[in-house]
Structure 1
């Protein structure tokens, strides 16, 4: 791996969620490896080079198997140290449920009417960030590279910088960065900017996010910003601010859908679909209001109304995974999605056909990629999304080149895939329905050409290229302190 040669210092990864979780079950304690783009890329890297991973220990058996908060992972062949930050119920509520997910998350997605901030939640959020930073400072070897992530840990770079000026820090913000008029609604917006500017490298998903961040720094903190280079001069240092669009492990997905088990499973699905002269659509989302689930159901309803020829032909499979169930608003939202799905099915279902099939739980990764391979179309209709890797996973899994992608124009993925995907406005149900009709009407050759172009792009822009770009920038930053 070329990335291995890039890293010239011990590596310390910091995330909110951990790569391995220990859970109690009826059969004892079992260790679960978590899925996700960052985990799937960084876990093999740390297994290869060693290092440290610091994260919230959220598993029911995490304390039991982590003496001193440390766990060697992977359990069967330990290669690096996982450091678990243990949080009590008040910390989980204040830091995670309230400030992060009821404050920063909706505000960053520009859903200002949903954002809620409280001074108490802020204080807990700040204290938890300090707790993470103390562990980073304690375990980081001299001159280490720290790679921290996302909105839950926005204050961590400055805290680490204060106690460990010898380390180099890259922080990646995975979600959108809102315009200043919206960001200012966060009562602690200046503290968050100062926290992030403790990093040497700040990464965002798109150039628009970078521009919004630089605008906030320039106008709020009144510090010099070089727009051409993305450089912020802060406390006698240069902070490199840059767009690093995250991606997927293209080769691993392709290999996964070509395994004998998944090939057989896909063939079985396709035989069933083709025998019944069906068209299969799919979407995969957490039950989160930013993903556009309710407007999408309005569009599906409009589609069956405007194009009755597709009734009993197009079956739409929606995977809706319950999310953040400790937050009451998310539980209510999931119930609304279930109710609206039932309403659409009642309108159009027949004795032998149900238009919308819901899987209310996650699917193991091999079968999920198999579903992407088997599907005729996929829908990603987020209201706002930093990137949305589902879109890229669908494209990577489409080795048979039969599928079309309907992609919200307000996702980061649209910046890369919009010319070959079918663009949709998630708040225009009739336009959405018309676009779906158009997508289903194109020839097999056009479908293959569109998906081939997107696949060629992803083959050249993988998650490893994402990491390499970040580490190259961090290497340069570490060598150029003022």
Structure 2
């Protein structure tokens, strides 16, 4: 029997069913293509079947329709979610770094907007939500610009939300931030082969500072049911502290850096306390499913919990926390893009400023001066390029912008010296009068300056040894509205799971990375355009509003289920207590 005979033999009802499935499949395929899912690599630890459930959740969120994947995410989308799904909800963001810093400069107050990935992601969200941002006030003039309640309305030119500053002494900042957070948790969570240092005094300070921030959040809460977005490894204990004072709050904790496997995490002397603190959250978010899996394995190893792995739900001390992947992104279109000149003008200005000769390709790296970023490794890749392809000597310059960071810590001082030494060795070996292969600039740059550099570059190198996401990669793509330029991207950055048209490299393999650099420098304009166009579609569709909107929608579903599951209960959030865990959470996902 032929296919045609078989089809004609089917009853009309079955034909209708078959047509429905075909249409559904076509809609799903279109959504997958639009979101870039169809181009994901074969199943790896980062692309488990959970990504299918994540996509299905997206469909369900938009009225049980596959159109959710096609939503145009914008500030208006977020405002609509808040108005319709979370009416009267107060959004409070908590982070160590503040979005606006006031410093004294020659007896005048200077406003500084830090070039921070976290700030660039969260600031447009807080603006859209008209929320409150609680952060450490570290600027030398911060105390001069706040009211009697330590608040200041921001952005200064068009205030749309409130910044609440928390004050820390030098001792508190040293113990909590430099000590426990950045000499302990930071190297613990990054595979960069730097030994973490854990000191009891730092731990005590970390606890007290987390308590200080908890008290500030409670003071800012207008009612007992705010939505609190806790940001990053500086505040692992904060969710539990907030839960004790605001039991009805929706607490969403996002961990911006990788989460290590349970064996590595066991190094931390206070591992159980860290996990207990995070499980005070309603939702715990990571950039990738792989990091979610590592967190769940750590919980399973060190705490007595009940875990529903299929639905990524952890029941602990009578409450349930969801553990989901929410890949962070940037604002689209970037606000900075309207403040910089056209691409050719940017190229002319940057090249003139750097003294580049005609025909010299410009390869850039932009990040904090940190041992996880692979700065020395990209210098070694340039050395490999020159060794294997000496015809490029004199025809390519690497501009490395490295904003000073945590410079008082010994590991960062050593890194600075190593970067300078490596750059100088390459310059002495291959440079000559009128040509400098490596320009190493350890200075802070404004976001506008950074975007100008992105637009001037022929190649952008993001060679992180380990990274949660890395927004430099996405910023570079967003800056290139001319659809030119090549992105070299580390396989150990979360962004490599999305930006598949980048040249994906292993930063620990200098020789292969040198070959990737040769490919990038020689790439045709047409190939650049094809790759950049697809990456820009991904960044546009999966922008920061989608990141925040996904978390807020999950928060809304938590709240609604809490309100309807046990009508008449005195404490709505107590409906998170698990009676029938598989059915309840399977229905939610």
Q: Which of 344, 360, 371 matches 1:289?
A: 371
Mapped to 2, the partners of 1:216 and 1:49 lie a distance apart of 34
Instruction: Say if 2:131 is the partner of 1:51.
Output: yes
1:152 matched to which residue of 2?
234
Question: Matches of residues 468-479 of structure 1 in structure 2 within 5 Å?
Answer: 468-479=549-560
The 1:249/1:263 distance shift into structure 2, 3 A limit, reads farther
**8 Å Cα contact 2:97-2:135 kept in structure 1:** yes
1:164-313 to structure 2, matched below 5 A, reads: 164-252=246-334, 255-256=337-338, 259-260=340-341, 264-269=345-350, 276-313=358-395
Which residue of the partner structure matches residue 403 of structure 2?
Answer: 321
CA, structure 1 residues 154+397, in 2 after alignment: closer, same or farther (shift >3 Å)?
A: same
- 1:332-343 pair list within 5 angstroms: 332-343=414-425
Whether contact under 8 Å (2:121, 2:328) holds in the other structure is no
Aligned partners of 1:262 and 1:367 also within 8 Å: no
- 1:96 aligned to 2:177? yes
Whether 1:365 aligns to 2:447 is yes
In structure 2, C-alpha distance between the alignment counterparts of 1:146 and 1:254, rounded to whole Å: 28
Please identify, of 450-459 and 324-333, the stretch whose mean Cα deviation from structure 2 is larger. 324-333
Closer/same/farther in 2, CA of residues 439 and 188 from structure 1, 3 Å limit? same
User: Cα distance, 1:44 vs. partner?
Assistant: 4.1
1:433 and 2:517 are equivalent in the alignment: no
**Residues 1:39 and 2:119 aligned together:** yes
Counterpart-to-counterpart distance in 2, 1:71 and 1:439: 46
1:24 paired to 2:104: yes
The alpha-carbon deviation at position 382 of structure 1 amounts to: 0.7
CA contact (8 A) 1:201 1:477 kept: no
Question: How many residues are paired up?
Answer: 480
Is 2:486 the partner of 1:411?
A: no
CA distance in 2, matches of 1:382, 1:40: 19
Larger radius of gyration: 2
Asked if the contact 2:473–2:495 (Cα under 8 Å) also holds between the matched residues in 1, the reply is yes
1:110 aligns with 2:185: no
- For 1:120, the equivalent position in structure 2 comes to 201
Q: Does 1:63 align with 2:143?
A: yes
CA contact (8 A) 1:263 1:370 kept: no
2:244 pairs with 1:162: yes
RMSD of aligned alpha carbons: 2.1
Q: 2:181·2:234 contact (CA, 8 Å) conserved in 1?
A: yes
Q: Which moved more, 1:445-454 or 1:98-107?
A: 445-454
Q: 1:13 aligns with which of 68, 83, 93?
A: 93
Does the aligned pair in 1 maintain the 2:350–2:452 contact within 8 Å?
no
Name structure 1 gaps, 5 residues minimum: none
Structure 2 counterparts to residues 448-459 of structure 1, below 5 A:
448-459=529-540
Paired residues of 1:206 and 1:245 also in contact (CA < 8 A)? yes
SS of aligned partner of 1:384: coil
Q: TM-score, normalised by structure 2?
A: 0.78
- Gaps spanning 5+ residues in structure 2: where? 1-75, 562-574, 577-589
| Residue aligned with 2:433, SS | coil
Q: Is the 8 A contact 1:253 1:393 kept in 2?
A: no
- Counterpart CA distance in 2 for 1:30 and 1:274 is 32
Residue 58 to residue 238, structure 1, CA distance change in 2 (3 Å): same
- The TM-score, its normalising length taken from structure 1, stands at 0.94
User: Any idea what the Cα deviations from partners look like across 1:277-305, whole Å, max 9, x if unmatched?
Assistant: 22111111211001111222222112111
Report the Cα offset of residue 253 of structure 1.
5.7
Give the counterpart of 2:457 among 375, 378, 403. Answer: 375
Alpha carbons of 1:192 and 1:112: their partners in 2 closer, same or farther (altered >3 Å)? farther
Distance 1:30 1:367, change over 3 A: closer
Change (3 A) 1:422 1:361: same
Q: 1:29 to 1:253 in 2, by over 3 A?
A: closer
C-alpha distance in 1, partners of 2:115/2:402?
16
* Residues in 2 aligned to 1:253 and 1:315: alpha-carbon distance in whole angstroms: 29
Equivalent-residue separation in structure 1 for 2:492 and 2:190 (angstroms): 10
Question: How far off is 1:60 after superposition?
Answer: 1.0
